[in-house]
Amino acid sequence: MRKRAAVLCGAAVVVAGTVTAVPADASAPNSAETAHAAKLTWKKCGTTDYPTLQCASLKVALDHRHPDGQQITLALSRVPHTAPKSQGPLLVNPGGPGGSGLTLAGFVASSLPKAVAAQYDVIGFDPRGVGKSKPALDCEPGHFNPVRPDSVPVTQAVEKANLARAKSFADACGKKYAGVLPYINTVQAVQDMDSIRAATGWRRTSYFGYSYGTYLGAVYARLFPHRVKRLVLDSIVDPTGVWYDDNLGQDYAFNDRHRALMSWIAKYDSTYKLGTDPEKIEAKWYAMRKALAKKPAGGKVGASELEDTFIPGGYYNGYWPYLAEAFAAYVNDKNTAPLVEAYENFAAVDASGDNGYSIYTSVQCRDAAWPRDWDQWRKDNWAVYDKAPFMAWNNAWYNAPCAFWPTDSLRPVNVANGQLPPTLLFQATDDAATPYIGGLTVHRLLAGSSLVVEQGGGNHGITLSGNTCLDKYLANYLSDGTVPRGNGEIDAVCQKLPDPKPLSTKAATTSSGSSRGATLHGMLGFRG
């Protein structure tokens, strides 16, 4: 996806009516149909935040084309239904690829209205290769240890150093997981999802996915349309650009979000003292980047690490006050400590991050074709950099192992689907990670879907994050299958939440920096 995301214009769409999905009893358990499936044994694994959480494991085929062959293990979590009549399982996924969904089950169950959550077994899972599933991949521990080479390859030496890192990672994955890598992909993962569905004993399942989880859900719906009861996709991947073009499209959108942060800082010059002109503030940021390339803050935060630290601000504006404080401290006071702290909070990669990145690359590099000619990467990314420099080369190197990946690439799944019950889509107009065009595209591809848009919103992952307008549509749909129907391309519009305030004000914790929003975005991660 090389074109910029479309901008929603015009007046808010008037909701014309509602459509009710297939009756709930159509997905009642059918023991005869699923008698062959493994049974799940749920054990208590509650936490302070989610005391009713249960855990289980499920063995599935490494290669679903050979169900009696080598087995792997999926880690599952569940908050069981409490209502007298269940609507069956609701599988949830936070995205990635590489995101763990075990905690998300507790979050979703506790964030939905009690009467709605009580109707479902909310099931989270670590996809194959992730987290507590076995085997869990970790191709090259410490791959992101600081200080890395400058992301912008202004010299042949810098480009060579970054290329060596990318090739080293791809080679390490190939050597360490040669027998596994061909089966780490979206199609095998959605077949795992249907194995989870079968193990619950239900003929159909509902699904709720964020980010990459929307692509996972769309592919599941394409391969198993008769198994879908309800489908919710939030912050939607453009399936026509997976994955090379989608990443190029991200770069423009993240540059816009970075500039939005600069404009926000300009509004609060009395707090940050960085000026009132967003362009001049942006110039100060790039000057900071140049200085850190020469002398990393605390021996940890070089130019690449600075980008890593500020990229999360493109996902969630609740981080803006923390990033602004670190930026101001460095520029105004020559104090590097807040910047190092921000890096450690938002960007430092631990063992779980190493695992997540191993799966991210394994899935994306396998799912679809990537250029194997580095000249093509160089041409495309310099072209993006000229217009949108903030994340262009950082993102390129993040994905660069795909230029050297040891497995062949598959053909992406065409997710177009006319066999589903009404489905519900959510998309923010200024989302950077999954630009707005993705929501419009999937709305067109999924016949009978309804699209709810957050006008002016720039966060990635917008339901269950404090916007009551969005959450009402979600709750109604999960409760009885109703979806909004508008007269145009968009079915309903909700206004965005207010931007956050500086940390020194009382309002700092009441808007986008709400505890629920921060909790969700901590689960969604910062890539994909």
- Of 126, 380, 431, 499, which residue is the catalytic one? 431
465: annotated active-site residue: no
Does 431 qualify as catalytic in the annotation?
Answer: yes
> H or E element: which one contains 60?
strand 54-61
381 CB contacts (<8 Å, ≥6 apart)?
Answer: 248, 392, 393, 396
Mark whether 460 is an active-site residue: yes
Whether residue 146 contacts residue 344, with contact meaning beta carbons closer than 8 Å, is answered with no
Residues near 327 by beta carbon (within 8 Å), at least 6 away in sequence: 265, 272, 274, 284, 285, 288, 339
Of how many residues is the chain composed? 528
The tokens describing 38, both together, are: 């493994």
Q: Are 218 and 102 in contact (CB under 8 A)?
A: no
Distance of CA 236 to the CA centre of its chain: 9
CA–CA separation, 449 and 227 (whole Å): 16
CA–CA distance, 92 with 453 (Å, rounded to integer): 21
First to last CA, the chain: 14
Tokens describing residue 430: 């200024």
Residue closest to 82 by CA, chosen among 55, 54, 104, 49: 54
Contact 363, 98 (CB under 8 A): yes
- Respond yes or no on whether the N-terminal peptide bond of residue 397 is cis (omega within 30° of 0): no
Chain centroid to CA 381: how far? 22
Q: Of the residues 110, 211, 235, 449, which is catalytic?
A: 211
Select from 118, 48, 115 the least CA-distant residue to 79: 118
Q: Mapping DSSP to helix (H, G, I), strand (E, B) and coil, where does residue 405 land? A: coil
- From 81, 258, 443, 460, the catalytic residue: 460
CB atoms within 10 A of CB 201: 18
Task: Single out the residue of 312, 296, 313 nearest to residue 304, CA to CA.
Answer: 296
β pairing state of 492-495 and 450-455: parallel
* 111 and 103 Cβ atoms separated by less than 8 Å: no
Cis peptide before 147 (omega within 30 of 0): yes
Whole-angstrom Cα distance, residue 333 to residue 471?
A: 42
Active-site residues, by number, are 211, 431, 460
